[in-house]
């Protein structure tokens, strides 16, 4: 059976004595830092919603939401039985185990708290975070590929790969599919939409597009990705990733519909810069 050779890249990018820095950690850092710069760029091209200081602070809130939400989500959705028997291991994040859907919910909570604290539109902050998130997803999936984890189902496609921990059968390089669909393509879609004044003046369209777009992309990818061994196939042969993504598609569509019904925003300034603002709150 034809297959491509898996590129044996050392998961450890830099090693200095006992200190080892993995590609996965660098992917998180790159995603957050490049995403942060892109949000600053986005805010200069849209009605002024967040100041530069707000964008800087949002990075901290989002990072906290990703890490806490991602870990809690993995524990609850993907390996609850193990961690209920070994609660001390929940804190051992260096052993791996992060879930996107948990990280997503963590970021949503962080966005709501951040926006309310600063008196900024929740939907506007969601839009800003949404346009940059595919960057982090792209780097994260590339890191998954380097680690040889989250590989796909067995295939006879000529681009199938034999992964180190995937047995002797060639498998779909589903991590690369995800990097392309959830990362690159979704980024391009959001970038194109963000260039439209119609979209920029209707907070929620970009955020809803990301949420629905990711959910749809993940549902498709799961048909090629090997289900987690401890879960396997669930209701109707669906995977946990698909079941968790269905609500995202529905929620994203609802946010888009809500944004389209609202009156477009012609001008918007940061509350601190708005002399007419009495309470510092915007819609």
Question: Which residues fall within 8 angstroms of residue 204, CB to CB, at 6 or more apart?
Answer: 123, 126, 127, 255, 256, 258, 259, 262
Give the residue among 176, 132, 127, 119 at the shortest CA–CA distance from 151.
Answer: 176
Give the residue among 222, 210, 185 at the shortest CA–CA distance from 128.
Answer: 210
Residues 216 and 39: their CA atoms lie apart, in Å, by 24
Q: Which CA distances in Å does 98 have to 68, 75, 108, 251? A: 9, 8, 16, 22
Q: Which CA distances in Å does 198 have to 29, 202, 203? A: 33, 7, 10
**71 carries a ligand binding annotation:** no
Residues 75 and 66: their CA atoms lie apart, in Å, by 14
Give the residue among 46, 24, 26, 16 at the shortest CA–CA distance from 194.
Answer: 46
Answer whether 123's CB lies under 8 Å from 92's CB. no
Which residues are annotated binding-site positions?
141
């Amino acid at each position: 059976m034809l297959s491509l050779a898996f590129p044996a890249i050392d998961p450890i990018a830099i090693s200095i004595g006992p200190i080892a820095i993995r590609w996965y950690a660098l992917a998180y850092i790159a995603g957050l830092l490049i995403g942060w710069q892109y949000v600053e760029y986005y805010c200069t091209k849209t009605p002024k919603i967040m100041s530069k200081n707000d964008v800087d602070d949002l990075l901290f809130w989002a990072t906290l939401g990703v890490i806490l939400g991602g870990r809690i989500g993995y524990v609850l959705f993907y390996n609850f039985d193990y961690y209920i028997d070994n609660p001390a291991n929940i804190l051992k994040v260096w052993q791996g185990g992060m879930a996107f859907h948990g990280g997503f919910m963590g970021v949503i909570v962080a966005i709501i708290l951040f926006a309310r604290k600063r008196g900024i539109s929740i939907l506007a902050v969601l839009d800003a975070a949404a346009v940059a998130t595919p960057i982090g997803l792209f780097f994260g999936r590339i890191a998954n590929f380097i680690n040889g984890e989250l590989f796909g189902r067995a295939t006879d496609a000529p681009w199938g790969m034999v992964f180190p921990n995937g047995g002797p059968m060639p498998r779909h390089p589903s991590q690369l599919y995800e990097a392309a669909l959830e990362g690159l393509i979704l980024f391009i879609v959001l970038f194109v939409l963000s260039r439209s004044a119609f979209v920029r003046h209707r907070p929620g369209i970009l955020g809803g597009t990301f949420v629905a777009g990711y959910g749809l992309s993940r549902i498709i990818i799961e048909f090629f990705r090997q289900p987690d061994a401890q879960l396997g196939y669930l209701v109707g042969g669906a995977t946990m990733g698909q079941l968790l993504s269905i609500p995202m598609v529905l929620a994203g569509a609802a946010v888009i519909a809500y944004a389209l019904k609202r009156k477009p925003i012609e001008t918007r300034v940061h509350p601190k810069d708005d002399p007419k603002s009495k309470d510092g709150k915007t819609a």
